[in-house]
Structure 1
Amino acid sequence: MTLNPLVHPLLLLLIGSGLVALVLVAMRAAPKDGRGMWLGRLLLVCAVLIAALRPGVGSVATNAANTELDVVFVVDLSGSAGAEDWNGSEPRLTGMRSDIEQLALRHAGARFALITFDSEAQYRLPFTTDTTALAKAMQLAQPQPSGRSHGSSIGAGAELLQEVLNNAIDYNPERMRVVYYLGDGEITSDTTPERYRGSADLIQGGKVFGYGTERGGRMRDSDPYSGGEYIRDRSDQEGISTIDEANLQDIADDLGVEYQLRDADSEPEAADIDPARGEGATQRGGVTTFPIYWVFALVAAGWMLVECGWLVRQQRELAAAKVVSE
């Protein structure tokens, strides 16, 4: 049997000892015909205390429950996220939004964080279990306007990702961590892109998703003052953005995860979680126990119903006695 107490066991012991002592004193002072109720109350206290210890039995292999999982989405929001080659003529960002929504459903109960980047990285959504907030953050996300672009680098989010993961480990090292990178791999910056290798030992799994086609797509300028015109290149031709799968595969290799080319006719593949990988993993070992605290919670709830019935009967007896006395 294993225990996973809600609070420190010593605190539970202190609270439990005090409650048991109070019940025993009250039971001793009660008349003999009323001691049965106090015996039930002693059972209630013991059941609640045991439930608070959250006992479990046996061992079950697991890939980490979603409730013990941190999921970080890293999304490329450079101008090419607006390239219109998703599902024929839709912006790539449409596919990214849809995939994040599906992945959030696959990991229901997990905590989600969102990092976006264009010329710079932004921690757009800190860890939360609120999938509505995640969806809203993605709906508000837009490709970088061409007037603010200084060239895109696929590694612009690398440093911030590592920082977010390290903070998550400091806060709770026993939680599993998964990273999903979403982008097209295109580089328009003259600088050498940062690498994601520093995050590889901080996660238990992830995936790199690629968006776009070799043919490419035109990009509408997201600047509200542009009138929705297409971005033009230096030769004053409509700019065309194409996917660079080699760069995306490099990111996957850096993180130690798989790469998947995305299209509207398929679904994003959720990450395979390896409990033996990454910092903090040896503490979990990929094994969990079957919880039995609910049995004691049911006992406590059952006795509460008995108490309610007893109180109702007492009220009726008092009411009847009042009528007789009148």
Structure 2
Amino acid sequence: MTIDPMLPLWLLVLLAAALIGFCAFAAAAAPRGGRLMWLGRAAMCLALVAALARPGAGAVAVASANAEVDVLFVVDTSASSTAEDWDGVEPRLDGMRADVAELAIAHAGARFALITFDDTAVQRLPFTTDASALAQAMRILVPEDPAYSSGSSVGAGVELAEEVLESAIDHDPERLRVLYYLGDGEQTAERDRESFAGLADLVQGGAVLGYGSDRGGRMADPSPWSSDGYLVDRQGAEARSYPDRDALAAIAGELRVEYQHREAGAAPTPAPIDPARGVADGGTTTVFPLYWAFALVVVAWMLVEAGRLIGASGELRRAREAVEW
């Protein structure tokens, strides 16, 4: 339980002592039949002081408008983003573009930023409320050229995402932050992937969106020397990319967000936002107030007093009429 007193605490204690002391003195001086009323008045005084202390219990998240939210998209543009197994034979990147557009609508009014990664990470868009700038940034994305790739890590964007989020916190700590990770989870770099756990306390919500089918997809080869426009492996066979759902689920676990494996034809589910999570400013949460319960006690006793006054007034009027008669 917490309190948020309307008056300084010392003044509330002094007020309570004075009121209870007066009620105790009056009860001692009152005839036996009137002492019960003074006990009730003492209880009312205690309830009044308790209400002024504004007690609360638990924690309730305050709903926040999208205008108070920063949404960061971290998008995989490695060679596997060209794998053609989205909606049949479309590139996975097309699915990511469609989902970013849907999520931008769901978070209308928010600020958006975009990071892409393959073997390195790049911030393509700083935080902006211009959703059309986000759409344009997604539209012109070009996947990594496999001819110059040394392998990609699914966690290549972690360090840059941390920098962007921490900068957003420093600039405006009261805003809430949401992170969407979009990728297939395929690790081709010869190193352990980076952990996302350090980002978990920097956001108040998010989701990991996974792309790719179990049958895999062949990947486009932009090289002019390609025989059929698709990548081949070292044996000359068609290279195919397969999603790593376990890796994506692990990333979601580290971020403490939901994992959604995406399919064409269904919109992504916008992430729930928990203002009480992480390092958001404490002003975004509140406690369940209890002062009203004590205020009801005060009101109830005042009704009792009003009833007694009305009754006494009636008796006085009847006595006066009897004397005049």
Q: Report deviation, 1:223.
A: 4.9
For 1:251 and 1:245, how far apart are their aligned partners in 2? 10
| Code of the aligned partner of 1:217 | G
For 2:175 and 2:114, how far apart are their aligned partners in 1? 17
Q: Is the 8 A contact 1:153 1:187 kept in 2?
A: yes
| Code of the aligned partner of 2:175 | R
Q: Is the 8 A contact 2:61 2:275 kept in 1?
A: no
Q: Deviations over 1:266-293 (max 9, x none)?
A: 1101001001001024221169xxxxxx
Q: Report deviation, 1:228.
A: 7.0
Q: 1:81 to 1:201 in 2, by over 3 A?
A: same
Q: 1:225 to 1:140 in 2, by over 3 A?
A: farther
Q: 1:62 to 1:210 in 2, by over 3 A?
A: same
For 1:169 and 1:235, how far apart are their aligned partners in 2? 49
Q: Is the 8 A contact 1:142 1:222 kept in 2?
A: no
Q: 1:178 to 1:222 in 2, by over 3 A?
A: farther
Per the alignment, residue 45 of structure 2 pairs with: none
Q: Report deviation, 1:190.
A: 0.8
Q: Deviations over 1:21-51 (max 9, x none)?
A: xxxxxxxxxxxxxxxxxxxxxxxxxxxxxxx
For 2:70 and 2:242, how far apart are their aligned partners in 1? 32
Per the alignment, residue 80 of structure 2 pairs with: 80
Q: Deviations over 1:50-75 (max 9, x none)?
A: xxxxxxxxxx9643210000000000
Q: Is the 8 A contact 2:252 2:259 kept in 1?
A: yes
Q: Is the 8 A contact 2:99 2:267 kept in 1?
A: yes
| Code of the aligned partner of 1:179 | L
The answer to whether the aligner puts 1:134 opposite 2:130 as a matched pair is no
Q: Is the 8 A contact 2:61 2:276 kept in 1?
A: no
The answer to whether the aligner puts 1:221 opposite 2:221 as a matched pair is yes
Q: Deviations over 1:129-166 (max 9, x none)?
A: 11111011111112111111111110100110011000
Per the alignment, residue 283 of structure 2 pairs with: 283
Give the TM-score normalised by structure 1: 0.67
Please give the residue correspondences for 1:1-326 in structure 2 after superposition, counting only pairs within 5 Å.
62-223=62-223, 229-285=229-285
| Secondary structure of the structure 2 residue equivalent to 1:179 | strand
Computed over aligned residues only, the root mean square deviation of the Cα atoms, in angstroms, reads 1.7
| Secondary structure of the structure 2 residue equivalent to 1:231 | coil
Q: Is the 8 A contact 1:144 1:222 kept in 2?
A: no
Unaligned runs of 5+ residues in structure 2 are 1-59, 288-325
Q: Is the 8 A contact 1:143 1:222 kept in 2?
A: no
| Secondary structure of the structure 1 residue equivalent to 2:133 | helix
Unaligned runs of 5+ residues in structure 1 are 1-59, 288-326
Per the alignment, residue 19 of structure 1 pairs with: none
| Code of the aligned partner of 1:262 | R
For 2:227 and 2:170, how far apart are their aligned partners in 1? 46
| Secondary structure of the structure 2 residue equivalent to 1:138 | helix
Q: Is the 8 A contact 1:83 1:220 kept in 2?
A: yes
| Code of the aligned partner of 2:169 | I
Structure with bigger gyration radius: 2
Q: Bigger shift: 81-90 or 221-230?
A: 221-230
For 2:81 and 2:183, how far apart are their aligned partners in 1? 7
| Secondary structure of the structure 1 residue equivalent to 2:85 | coil
Q: Bigger shift: 224-233 or 68-77?
A: 224-233
Q: Report deviation, 1:265.
A: 2.2
Q: Deviations over 1:199-253 (max 9, x none)?
A: 1000000000000011100000245775871011121211100110000011101
Q: 1:105 to 1:222 in 2, by over 3 A?
A: farther
For 1:224 and 1:133, how far apart are their aligned partners in 2? 31
Give the TM-score normalised by structure 2: 0.68
For 1:286 and 1:109, how far apart are their aligned partners in 2? 24
For 1:225 and 1:236, how far apart are their aligned partners in 2? 14
| Code of the aligned partner of 2:166 | N
Q: 1:215 to 1:274 in 2, by over 3 A?
A: same
Q: Is the 8 A contact 1:222 1:228 kept in 2?
A: no
For 1:167 and 1:223, how far apart are their aligned partners in 2? 39
For 2:192 and 2:129, how far apart are their aligned partners in 1? 35
Q: Deviations over 1:7-32 (max 9, x none)?
A: xxxxxxxxxxxxxxxxxxxxxxxxxx
| Secondary structure of the structure 2 residue equivalent to 1:85 | strand
